[in-house]
């Protein structure tokens, strides 16, 4: 089976539409989401409505819970908190209820799906180094775990000797005896210096993972943010992919 993972859409409709169009080309058999449907961007309802019907599984992100009052804004930057409050005023009752219903973790086809931290999902911790990954890999039994949150795609790989390696290679072969914690590319707000939207393909038969990056109408997404009256920085960072 081939399936796809999206994460960190952040209410960026232009990026989401580009990814969904590319998925029509890839034709995976299922699609799952690692959360942060909303936050930062100006199209929260449109993104949920567009993505939700096609999902086989999804988990909550911190911006999803912040927008519906389930996560505190104390750890958010000023602009992120402003966007979360604005999002909360925009969500339809149906979409608010959907975000409230999302679990923190899901087991899917023998893998773990979580937005941020397998060890403490509601802490929204970042996994940025092999030292961080060591604790996180101890928190689940599956050979494959998938996270988002940092918007910085890559993979932590623990080999048979217990040594953790990090790679940013776009294509990864799943090796027997190894365990993986994979950070999925962000759809709506990449921060790795590449402004293109991204997602991940999981090919079970080929035992392979592949990052996919897609061009989208960044200018259109920027205009939406400005027209909504959201902080200008939230639009400008899209152009730089950071």
Residue 115: predicted pLDDT: 98
∠ at Cα 125 (64, 13), nearest 5°? 35
What burial class does residue 238 get, using C-beta atoms within 10 Å of its C-beta: 0-12 exposed, 13-18 middle, 19+ buried? buried
Q: Give the predicted TM-score (pTM) of the model.
A: 0.96
Among the residues of 102-151, which ranges form H helices?
130-137
Q: Is residue 3 within 8 Å of 205, Cβ to Cβ?
A: no
Q: Is residue 40 within 8 Å of 188, Cβ to Cβ?
A: yes
Q: Is residue 8 within 8 Å of 34, Cβ to Cβ?
A: yes
Strand order in the sheet with 57-58: 57-58, 30-33, 2-6, 197-203, 208-214, 171-173
* pLDDT tens by residue, the chain, 242 residues: 999 999 999 999 999 999 999 999 999 999 999 999 999 999 999 999 999 999 999 999 999 999 999 988 888 999 999 999 999 999 999 999 999 999 999 999 999 999 999 999 999 999 999 999 999 999 999 999 999 999 999 999 999 999 999 999 999 999 999 999 999 999 999 999 999 999 999 999 999 999 999 999 999 999 999 999 999 999 999 988 87
Residue 146: predicted pLDDT: 98
Topology classification of domain 2-240:
Purple Acid Phosphatase; chain A, domain 2 (3.60.21)
């Amino acid at each position: 089976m081939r399936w796809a993972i999206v994460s960190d859409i952040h209410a960026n409709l232009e990026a989401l539409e580009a990814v969904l169009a590319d998925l029509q080309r890839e034709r995976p058999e299922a699609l799952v989401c690692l959360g942060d449907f909303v936050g930062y961007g100006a199209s929260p309802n449109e993104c949920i409505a567009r993505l939700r019907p096609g999902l086989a599984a999804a988990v909550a992100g911190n911006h999803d819970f912040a927008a519906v009052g389930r996560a505190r804004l104390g750890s958010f930057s000023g602009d992120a908190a402003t966007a979360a409050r604005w999002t909360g005023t925009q969500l339809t009752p149906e979409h608010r209820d959907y975000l409230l219903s999302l679990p923190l973790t899901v087991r899917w086809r023998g893998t773990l799906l979580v937005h941020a931290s397998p060890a403490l999902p509601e802490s929204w911790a970042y996994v940025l180094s092999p030292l961080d990954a060591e604790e996180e890999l101890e928190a689940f039994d599956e050979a494959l775990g998938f996270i988002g949150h940092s918007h910085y795609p890559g993979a932590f790989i623990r080999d048979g000797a217990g040594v953790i390696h990090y790679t940013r290679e776009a294509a990864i072969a799943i090796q027997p005896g190894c365990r993986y914690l994979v950070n999925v590319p962000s759809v709506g707000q990449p921060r790795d210096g590449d402004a293109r939207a991204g997602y991940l393909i999981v090919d079970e038969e080929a035992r392979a993972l592949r990052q996919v990056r897609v061009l989208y109408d960044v200018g259109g997404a920027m205009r939406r943010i400005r027209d909504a009256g959201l902080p200008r920085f939230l639009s400008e960072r899209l152009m730089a992919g950071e």
